[in-house]
Structure 1
Amino acid sequence: MSVIPTFALAPFASDWRASRGRLFAEPPSPTRGNFQRDRDRIIHSTAFRRLAHKTQVFIALEGDHFRTRLTHTMEVAQIARALARGLKLDEDLAETTALGHDLGHACFGHAGEEVLDACMGAYGGFDHNAQTLRIVTKLERRYAEWDGLNLCAETLEGLVKHNGPLLRPDGGPTSRYEQCGISAYIMEFNGIVDLKLEEYASAEAQCAALADDIAYNAHDIDDGLRAGLFAPDDLRDVPFIRALLEEIAARHPGLETPRLIHELTRRVITRLVEDVFAESEARLAALKPDSPRAIARAGAPVIAFSAEKWRDLQILREFLFTRMYRHSAVLPVWKNAQKIVSGLFSHFINRPQDMSEPWGALALARDEAGRARVVADYIAGMTDVYAAARAKTFLGDEG
């Protein structure tokens, strides 16, 4: 007898009972739906645990209160679940996509990914969404009967294309992939499990994508202020933030800085979530989707920011790019991270036996391109601390 609770969902919500299934068939669980099982498998994975020791952006300044990939992921999952609940979607699928969306990020945040992509330029590049797919379908080696986590097709689709389709209806790459191309692994796996790369992901996966935008914008403000990279008054250059600061000042005059930072961060999240609700409800009312397939074939996202709030976010991102991501205190950290990753890549390409097993043996058994991909898998899986330690061991002062 099943003890899985059921709730009334919108007709366009994903239904775990109607899942397209898993690559390797499994008997159903009497206590968990398909998407709940996927969520649990991600949480218990090695790649998920490693997120605790990977930086969120690339800041490694003194102090232990800045966000890691894991804390960011938990914040994204909370927001994604809240969005899904408000829109009567499947909360488990939204949360699952959010929990898995950053599994493929390399050590040292965007700095590590940028240089690893450059190192892999001759071998197909490095893309964190493709790396996430590699992790959950190939690199996690935990189960007796298969590699990977054997997740549902709907979860895999969400992890690969939560930011939108990869292919146009005519089969060509969408604008995001026109220059860099689509990962060979995604295309290879698509031949095994149809990920419907020309369609939009579920509304639940779209919730996870918007939750990611909300979380990292709000919390980069928080981390930047706490790190002293800019002051609250500097944010008055961003109209959206200036209005919130004025609101806080009127309600709480003379508020001490730590409380001011928190009040600002929570208001940013609240306003963005409210905007997504309003815009998404309007889009859904206009579309009148009667099934998940209608969402997939809508031709545009149904979960979205309003045009006004999207413009606000572009101004905020420009501010953060200049005042945080390219701050003089951050650039040396960024450059050192790139030096470590590029140095380790060169070293392991030439001496794959220095990688821990089974990575060394796997690399030695491959051709040049295959060896490079094994090295990239190995480095991408490293935590920041482990990568720095390996650099000290193998690169010495050069690392």
Structure 2
Amino acid sequence: MEWRKLREQQENMLSPFAAKSVNSYGRLLYEEKCPIRTDYERDGNRILYSMDFRRLRHKTQVFFNAKNDHICTRMEHVLNVGSIANTIARTLNMNQDLTYAIALGHDLGHAPFGHSGERVLDKCVKKIDKNASFKHELHSLRVVEKLATRISKEKIYESCGLNLTFEVKDGIVSHCGENYDEFIMHRDLSKTPDSLKNVKRTDSPYTLEACIVRLVDKIAYVGRDIEDAVRVKLMDMQDIPKDIRNELGNTNGEIINTLVCDMIENSYGKDCIQLSKSKGEALEKLINENVRLIYKADKITRYEKIAENTLEGLFDNLLESLSDFEKLQYRDNKVYRMFYKYIIDKGYDESVSDAQKVVDFVAGMTDSFARACFEEIYWM
């Protein structure tokens, strides 16, 4: 029996606003269907098993080089988004497989050292080309479309990343959670696979499942960042204004529960995903408090200088090393040899700039590997 077809039939019980896997725009390259899993579930598995996902375990969420094992990493944040988004999708009768796949993949392109690293790489590429930029959600799309490797026995998929469905890729690239005042999301059904060629980080997602992930991204990090900041004694929960705590709660768990219940209450049976005005405004205020108390705290900004020096040093040095590419494979320094092998393995064509090759290599690093490479290059 084709169990997948039975599961696809069960999708007819979903909300009329849900994305059905049988209606997917599909993959860039054709593949035989899995006999058990839907296409969206298969995408989630590919992301989960990828090397890029594994490296999230050693990438910063907010707190650099944390010695406390209970401080949130980028991987834990991604799993938190997946858990919260799935709860909402299940209750709203949306496609959970699609929701979870988008959540798992939404930060695959994050640079080491969190948003600090993202800003450094953006500054580095702008030195080369003022029209260029580095945004982690756009790079996440690049990872799943080109950089991640999925080797098959025919080796026909190596040039198209994970070969994910359009809906999952659209959700990944459209997840931008840095618009603090955004708490009502409408899907854009005019999008097609061609839309991904000129996508902007502000574009609305194609599916409501992706809209859920986009809003949940903020819900997942805002309370957890406070929890971590309290744990490392950077602040106290009482530092948050009382009116915000009265509206959302006094713990990470209370904040998540309040916002999840509110989102479900205000989105059920509607062709949009939204929070109420009062909760949405309270969430925006809370994120701005996080900016003031955590993200711009002296301990964080001082360590950001180390991150900036590390990534800028790597970028400048590796870019210069490409002036004589063939010599890289014979250099004594193992970083250059790894960089050479990376470029060969990716099979770049002539349209890819040297700066892009460096960005691809550096953005894929974990925090600790980036520091080790920096020391290997600059150690006297």
Q: How does the TM-score come out when normalised to structure 1?
A: 0.79
Pick the aligned partner of 2:174 from 132, 143, 161.
Answer: 161
Pick the aligned partner of 2:216 from 211, 214, 217.
Answer: 211
Q: CA deviation at 1:307?
A: 1.6
Instruction: Identify the residue that residue 133 of structure 1 maps to in structure 2.
Output: 141
Change (3 A) 1:280 1:334: same
| Matched-pair contact (CA < 8 Å) for 2:95–2:209 | yes
Residue 298 of structure 2 aligns to which amino acid in structure 1?
S
| Matched-pair contact (CA < 8 Å) for 2:248–2:279 | no
Change (3 A) 1:192 1:314: closer
Give the secondary-structure state (helix, strand or coil) at the position aligned to 2:3.
Answer: coil
CA displacement, residues 233-260 of structure 1 (integer Å, 9 cap, x when unaligned):
212x152224666xx7xxxxxxxxxxxx
Q: CA deviation at 1:392?
A: 0.7
Query: Which 10-residue stretch deviates more, 359-368 or 142-151?
Result: 359-368
Q: CA deviation at 1:220?
A: 0.7
> 1:387 & 1:198 partners in 2: Cα distance?
32
Asked whether 1:108 is paired with 2:83, we answer no
Instruction: Identify the residue that residue 84 of structure 1 maps to in structure 2.
Output: 89
Change (3 A) 1:137 1:310: same
Give the secondary-structure state (helix, strand or coil) at the position aligned to 2:162.
Answer: coil
Instruction: Identify the residue that residue 266 of structure 1 maps to in structure 2.
Output: 253
Instruction: Identify the residue that residue 241 of structure 1 maps to in structure 2.
Output: 245
Asked whether 1:119 is paired with 2:124, we answer yes
Asked whether 1:328 is paired with 2:339, we answer no
Change (3 A) 1:58 1:367: farther
Residue 142 of structure 1 aligns to which amino acid in structure 2?
R
Instruction: Identify the residue that residue 194 of structure 2 maps to in structure 1.
Output: 190
| Matched-pair contact (CA < 8 Å) for 1:93–1:204 | yes
Change (3 A) 1:65 1:279: same
Residue 376 of structure 2 aligns to which amino acid in structure 1?
T
Asked whether 1:232 is paired with 2:228, we answer no
Pick the aligned partner of 1:22 from 19, 27, 36.
Answer: 27
Q: CA deviation at 1:374?
A: 0.3
Query: Which 10-residue stretch deviates more, 197-206 or 124-133?
Result: 197-206
| Matched-pair contact (CA < 8 Å) for 1:102–1:128 | yes
Q: CA deviation at 1:396?
A: 2.7
| Matched-pair contact (CA < 8 Å) for 1:344–1:391 | yes
CA displacement, residues 15-59 of structure 1 (integer Å, 9 cap, x when unaligned):
011211111101111110000100000001111000000011243
Q: CA deviation at 1:355?
A: 5.2
Give the secondary-structure state (helix, strand or coil) at the position aligned to 1:120.
Answer: helix
| Matched-pair contact (CA < 8 Å) for 1:359–1:378 | yes
Instruction: Identify the residue that residue 221 of structure 1 maps to in structure 2.
Output: 226
Instruction: Identify the residue that residue 306 of structure 1 maps to in structure 2.
Output: 276
Query: After superposition, where does 1:376-387 map in structure 2 within 5 Å?
Result: 376-387=359-370
> 2:118 & 2:56 partners in 1: Cα distance?
14
> 2:101 & 2:275 partners in 1: Cα distance?
22
| Matched-pair contact (CA < 8 Å) for 1:117–1:125 | yes
| Matched-pair contact (CA < 8 Å) for 2:125–2:355 | yes
Pick the aligned partner of 2:165 from 144, 152, 158.
Answer: 152
| Matched-pair contact (CA < 8 Å) for 1:363–1:371 | no
How many residues of Structure 1 are paired with residues of Structure 2 in the alignment?
340
Q: CA deviation at 1:202?
A: 0.2
Residue 385 of structure 1 aligns to which amino acid in structure 2?
S
Query: Which 10-residue stretch deviates more, 192-201 or 365-374?
Result: 192-201
Give the secondary-structure state (helix, strand or coil) at the position aligned to 1:351.
Answer: helix
> 2:346 & 2:124 partners in 1: Cα distance?
16
Q: CA deviation at 1:358?
A: 2.3
Asked whether 1:394 is paired with 2:377, we answer yes
> 2:304 & 2:218 partners in 1: Cα distance?
22
Instruction: Identify the residue that residue 315 of structure 1 maps to in structure 2.
Output: 285
Residue 118 of structure 2 aligns to which amino acid in structure 1?
E
Q: CA deviation at 1:61?
A: 3.5
| Matched-pair contact (CA < 8 Å) for 2:137–2:175 | no
Instruction: Identify the residue that residue 325 of structure 2 maps to in structure 1.
Output: none
Report sequence identity in percent. Answer: 34
Change (3 A) 1:361 1:322: same
> 1:209 & 1:244 partners in 2: Cα distance?
19
Change (3 A) 1:193 1:348: closer
> 2:286 & 2:273 partners in 1: Cα distance?
21
Unaligned regions of 5+ residues in structure 2, if any?
183-192, 323-327, 329-335
Change (3 A) 1:198 1:327: closer
Pick the aligned partner of 1:278 from 223, 246, 265.
Answer: 265
Query: Which 10-residue stretch deviates more, 316-325 or 361-370?
Result: 361-370
Instruction: Identify the residue that residue 256 of structure 1 maps to in structure 2.
Output: none
Asked whether 1:372 is paired with 2:348, we answer no
Q: How does the TM-score come out when normalised to structure 2?
A: 0.83
> 1:195 & 1:34 partners in 2: Cα distance?
23
Change (3 A) 1:60 1:380: same
